[in-house]
């Protein structure tokens, strides 16, 4: 298993601190998050192949705290899995961190009304999705 630490770090770092600096508390938060996701991944890599398939991913995302529908799981597999629909550890971590960031941004934008929907103009949409 190979971890693309630079991409994971960038995704995690975006989640923690907009100042682009990493203090001890932020580092600990990031390290704890990575350790948790590695443990979830290893638990669900039942055949110890170093990859997880779509069924293992469904169970792993649930253990990581996400209840996702089939369409969203299919999109994650299409984006992050290889041509055999297998996902390696680094892609698993990256996909769940990005998913968590997306949930957090949505919750922040929906914070006042809590309607379960938000309105974005084109500029806001581009700023949120380009990263």
Position 81 scores a pLDDT of 94
Asked which of 25-29, 74-78, 109-113, 116-120 is least confident by mean pLDDT, the reply is 109-113
Q: Which of 54, 123, 46 is nearest to 95 (CA)?
A: 54
In the block, tokens 């979830």 appear at: 40
pLDDT at 6 over 70: no
Position 115 scores a pLDDT of 84
Structural domain containing residue 19: 5-129
Q: CB–CB of 35/73 below 8 Å?
A: no
**Per-position DSSP letters for 49-69, written without gaps between them:** SSEE-HHHHHHHHHHTT----
Q: Give tens-digit pLDDT for 116-127.
A: 888 888 888 777
**Per-position DSSP letters for 76-128, written without gaps between them:** HHHHHS-TTS-EEHHHHHHHHHHHHHHHHHHHHHTTTT--S-----HHHHHHH
What is the average per-residue pLDDT within 96-113? 82
What is the CATH number for 46?
A: 1.10.238.10
The H or E element containing residue 129 is helix 122-129
Is pTM beyond 0.85 here?
no
Residue 42: CB atoms within 10 Å: 15
Q: Give tens-digit pLDDT for 48-58.
A: 999 999 889 99
SS3 letters across 7-20: HHHHHHHHHHCCCC
pLDDT at 13 over 80: no
Domain count, the chain: 1
């Amino acid at each position: 298993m190979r971890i693309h630490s630079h991409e994971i770090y960038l995704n995690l770092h975006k989640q923690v601190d907009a100042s682009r600096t990493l203090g001890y508390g932020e580092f600990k938060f990031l390290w704890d998050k990575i350790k948790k996701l590695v443990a979830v991944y290893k638990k669900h890599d039942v055949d110890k192949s170093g990859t997880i398939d779509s069924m293992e991913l469904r169970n792993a995302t649930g253990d990581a705290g996400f209840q996702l529908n089939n369409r969203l799981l299919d999109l994650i597999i299409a984006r992050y899995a290889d041509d055999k629909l297998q996902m390696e550890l680094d892609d698993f971590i990256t996909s769940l961190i990005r998913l968590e960031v997306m949930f957090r941004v949505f919750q922040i934008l929906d914070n006042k009304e809590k309607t379960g929907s938000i309105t974005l103009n084109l500029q806001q949409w581009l700023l949120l999705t380009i990263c």
